[in-house]
Structure 1
Amino acid sequence: MGRADLTREEWDRLKPHLPKSGKRGGRWASHRRIINGILYRQRTGVPWRDLPARFGKWKTVCERHRRWSADGTWDKILAAGLADADAEGRIHWSMVSVDSTSCRAHQHAAGARKSPPRVSGRTTPRQRRPDEGLGRSRGGFTCKIHLAGEGGRRPLALLITPGQWGDAPQLILVMERIRVRRLDGGRPRTRPDHLGGAKAYSSRRNRRYLRRRQIKHTIPEPKDQRAHGKRRGSRGGRPTGFDKTIYKRRNEVEGTINALKNFRDVATRFDKRAYVFYGTVTVASIRLWLKP
């Protein structure tokens, strides 16, 4: 067992949610060794070809990560892990915060083919984007991870966009991705008790959306928006409420981002395809949820 390989407890949590062997016999053999290889690469950021021999053939490890990113297997595993955590009471619904972080794209992330990638005869990659989630911003060639994090500093939902895209337009998209299945039946849980966000998420559209879904929220209003509301008088609506004590808990989502960026393959994007990088961030999220 390597220094950062899956522990026995983590493997026992993960194993029931992995795909079973198909009709091809040993197609999905050696799950634990392959996943440890994927985690090793994400933690260290080494090229796939430089994986240590103890993980088997590098191409097998790389191809399985690519396939599971394309067909949504990593998404299903994360959803199953969230359901288990919710049943055990490990999800802190009392406060969920939204935030984003920019990831510098390595030069190897550029130059993806314009034609749609072919994964298999019947598989269409999820998270397929014509822009591949890459753009130019002040930081250079970047992409951006938008996420909702719960109080335990672990992610509930993820979204990948180009680096120059704003935060406010992505809040609704991120919130719509919060969907935690209940093991005892019933509708999945999609609403936190309270939502926190920075000034960048303050907009009339976002506040209307949160009020319509009856989600209490603490999002500070920028000075220019407050001044605009005062100028409109009664048509400007009521001033937004703001609780400084609750807002201090927004550092929890910043801790979530720090935990994700401890994976070097997340902090610096090496993947050309957006769906592969989304799978990379999803695997990092799964690892965070596997920890007790």
Structure 2
Amino acid sequence: MGRGNLTDCEWARLEPHLPKNVGRGGRRKDHRQVIDGILFRIRTGIPWRDLPRRFGSWQTCYDRHRRWSADGTWERIFRSVLADADAEGRIDWSMVGVDSTGCRAHQHAAGACQQAPRRVGKPGRSVQQRPDEAIGRSRGGLTTKIHLAGEGGLRLLAVLVTPGQWGDARQMIAILERIRVPRPAGGRPRTRPDHLSGDKAYSSRQNRRYLRRRQIKHTIPERRDQQTHRRRRGSYGGRPISFDPARYVRRNEVERLINRLKINRAVSTRSDKRAYVFHGTVTVASLRLLRT
């Protein structure tokens, strides 16, 4: 087993959720060898053509990663493994944090063609397909922003990619709507955490109204300008926002999760041209965080 490859324990958790069907042209290449090649590329950030020969053809690894990113296979595998972790009691729903991080877009991430190749197929509805390819210009140049929700055990629950100049507050509801953990024993998927934490960037009336409607307790500090505006309105400004500093300390968990994600060089520096392919790259990197 090479450095960074799937361990036997990780493969035992992942194998039941992989596609079983056989495509046209005969038997598919061994899933484990191809996934090891995809993980190697995500961890090192090298071009696909520079994959070592022990992983087989680089074209096979690239095509399978792109196809599974387009049809939502990576997303389904991630939710299935997440459901197993939840059934084993390894998901901490007592505190879920939301945050974002910027990723510099490499020059190879620019210049995506208008239409995807026919052999890959159009992305499915469950996949994020964006006309701007989630590349925007901010202070750091061309960047992509990853918005995510993570639980106390440093595991990712939902992810969303947007252009780098987009704000955080308007993406909080979209992130929470993407939390959907199936229950293997049956019943509706779990979509609501017990408590939510976020920094001042997520402080807005719309977000707090949404959290109250869904009965989600939250710890989000109020911005200074919002405090001044509320006091200026007097009794019409409403009550002061409740804030628990002891709970807010746990916000470091989602920041540590971002640190663990960006250890992968293909995540910290984006080189994928398509937004849905980069979304698949982040999803695959998140699968390694579910192994414990």
CA distance in 1, matches of 2:143, 2:208: 29
1:21 Cα deviation (Å)?
3.0
1:237 Cα deviation (Å)?
1.3
**Is 1:78–2:75 an aligned residue pair?**
no
Q: How many residues get paired?
A: 290
**Is 1:108–2:122 an aligned residue pair?**
no
Pairing 1:1-292 to 2, within 5 Å after superposition: 1-24=1-24, 26-113=26-113, 115-120=114-119, 123-125=122-124, 126-289=127-290, 291-292=291-292
Whether the 8 Å contact between 1:69 and 1:278 is mirrored in structure 2 is yes
CA distance in 1, matches of 2:129, 2:176: 20
1:28 Cα deviation (Å)?
3.0
Q: 1:275 to 1:82 in 2, by over 3 A?
A: same
CA root-mean-square deviation: 1.2
1:277 Cα deviation (Å)?
0.3
SS in 2 for 1:249: helix
SS in 2 for 1:184: coil
Give the TM-score taking structure 2 as reference length. 0.97
Q: Deviations over 1:116-148 (max 9, x none)?
A: 313548643531101000000011110000000
Give the TM-score taking structure 1 as reference length. 0.97
CA distance in 2, matches of 1:111, 1:3: 33
SS in 1 for 2:233: helix
Whether the 8 Å contact between 1:67 and 1:119 is mirrored in structure 2 is no
Q: Deviations over 1:147-196 (max 9, x none)?
A: 00000111100000000000000000000000111111111111111000
CA distance in 2, matches of 1:119, 1:176: 31
Q: 1:121 to 1:107 in 2, by over 3 A?
A: closer
CA distance in 2, matches of 1:259, 1:26: 38
CA distance in 1, matches of 2:187, 2:261: 31
Q: Deviations over 1:28-64 (max 9, x none)?
A: 3310000000000011111100000000000010000
